[in-house]
Chain A
Amino acid sequence: MKRLLWGALAVLVLGTGTARAGSIGVGFFGGASVPVLQDDQDDGSIYGVRIPVKLVPLITVEPYYASAQLGDKTFDIAPGITVTREGSEVYSYGVNGMLTVGGPLNFYPFVGMGVAKYERSGQEDTFTSFQGGVGLAIHPLPKLGLDLRAELQAAASDGGTARKLLNITLGASYALFSLP
Chain B
Amino acid sequence: MRTLRLAALTLSLGTLATTGCLLLSGQFVVTYALPDPLTLVAGSTPTGVGVDLNTISEYGDHKDDLKRVDDLALIGDFHNGTGGAANVEAWLVPSATLGLTVTQVMQQGVLLWGPLGIAANATEHVDWNRSSGLFKGRQALIDEVKGDGHFALYLRTSSTLNLTMTKGAVIAVIAAAK
Q: Which residues of A contact B (CB under 8 A)?
A: 1-2, 4-5, 8-9, 11-12, 15-16, 19, 36-41, 56, 59, 75, 77-78, 80-81, 83-86, 97, 99, 109, 111-113, 120-123, 125, 130-132, 152, 154, 156-164
Tell me, in angstroms, the Cα distance from A9 to B3 when the chains sit together: 12
Tell me, in angstroms, the Cα distance from A75 to B38 when the chains sit together: 21
CB <8 Å contact, B21 and A160: yes
Residues of A within 8 A of B44 (CB): none
Contact of A130 among B3, B19, B169, B171 (CB under 8 A): B19
Q: Does B70 contact A (CB under 8 A)?
A: yes
CB <8 Å contact, B8 and A78: no
CB <8 Å contact, A15 and B4: yes
Interface class of chain A by DSSP: strand
Residues of B within 8 A of A160 (CB): 21-22, 25, 67, 177
CB <8 Å contact, B27 and A111: no
Closest to A20 in B: B1
Contact with A along B16-55 (1 / 0, CB 8 A): 1111011101111101010010000000000000000000
Given known pairs A12-B8, A99-B8, the reply for A40 and B129 (CB within 8 Å) is no
8 closest Cβ contacts across the A-B interface? Answer: A122-B132, A37-B26, A159-B67, A162-B22, A161-B25, A161-B175, A78-B33, A121-B129
Contact of B73 among A56, A83, A125 (CB under 8 A): A83
CB <8 Å contact, B29 and A75: yes
User: A165 → chain B, closest Cβ, in Å?
Assistant: 12
Indicate the size class of the contact surface on chain B.
35 or more
CB <8 Å contact, B4 and A86: no
Closest to B9 in A: A8
Given known pairs A39-B29, A161-B67, A162-B25, the reply for A15 and B15 (CB within 8 Å) is no
Number of A-B contacts (CB under 8 A): 157
Q: Which residues of B contact A (CB under 8 A)?
A: 1, 3-4, 7-8, 10-12, 14-19, 21-23, 25-29, 31, 33, 36, 67-68, 70-71, 73, 75, 127-133, 135, 167, 169, 171, 173, 175-177
CB <8 Å contact, A130 and B18: yes
CB <8 Å contact, B169 and A81: yes
Tell me, in angstroms, the Cα distance from A162 to B15 when the chains sit together: 14
CB <8 Å contact, B15 and A40: no
User: B38 → chain A, closest Cβ, in Å?
Assistant: 13
Tell me, in angstroms, the Cα distance from A15 to B9 when the chains sit together: 14
Given known pairs A16-B4, A84-B128, the reply for A5 and B11 (CB within 8 Å) is yes
